[in-house]
Amino acid sequence: MKHIISALLIFLIASCNGEKANNETIISENSYLVGFWSGEGRFLDTDLDEQIGTVNVKIKINEDYSLSGTIGAAKLDDLRIENANHGFNIYGYLDSKIDPASDLDKKCMILLLVLPEEGRSETISSDANFHLKSNFTFDFGMRVGGVTLSKTNIP
């Protein structure tokens, strides 16, 4: 029984530590992602939305395959992008609270960039969701919001 539990634990740890997607591969295969994506988001939790209000979301995807961004007052660090069924997931760590006056203190963000199956290269807008979490695996208290991101060329 002890060996079964150990094997199961090793399997679970290995499955949670998947290899990070390579930004260069994703962006080079989907060059239409390059640009400045921005919009004003709102939280789905009405109390939190009333407390914080709109949240500016900005993601910059560069031709050199680097990503940068902000959500509210927080800068996003160590951004990476992965393919997803709905389009792409963008992962990043927050360097501070999104609103210094709020008690919301999450450390991670996942942005679900939703793109259509056909005509992706012409897409200049995305109805996206963002998840603010304590970690990238499971967070029962994650905070979810929606944002319409508009794409412009990089200035």
The whole-number pLDDT of residue 117 equals: 85
**Do the beta carbons of residue 35 and residue 126 sit within 8 Å?**
no
The whole-number pLDDT of residue 153 equals: 82
| Cα separations in angstroms, 116 against 50, 61, 127 | 31, 19, 10
The whole-number pLDDT of residue 12 equals: 45
The whole-number pLDDT of residue 121 equals: 87
For residue range 86-109, what is the model confidence (pLDDT) as tens digits?
999 999 999 999 999 999 999 999
Flag residues of the chain having pLDDT under 70.
1-21, 155
Which CATH entry fits the domain spanning 21-152: 3.20.20, 2.40.420, 2.30.30, 2.40.160? 2.40.160
pTM of the full predicted structure? 0.83
What number of residues does the chain have? 155
The whole-number pLDDT of residue 13 equals: 46
CA pair distance 109, 80, nearest whole angstrom: 11
Closest C-alpha among 151, 150, 146 to residue 128: 146
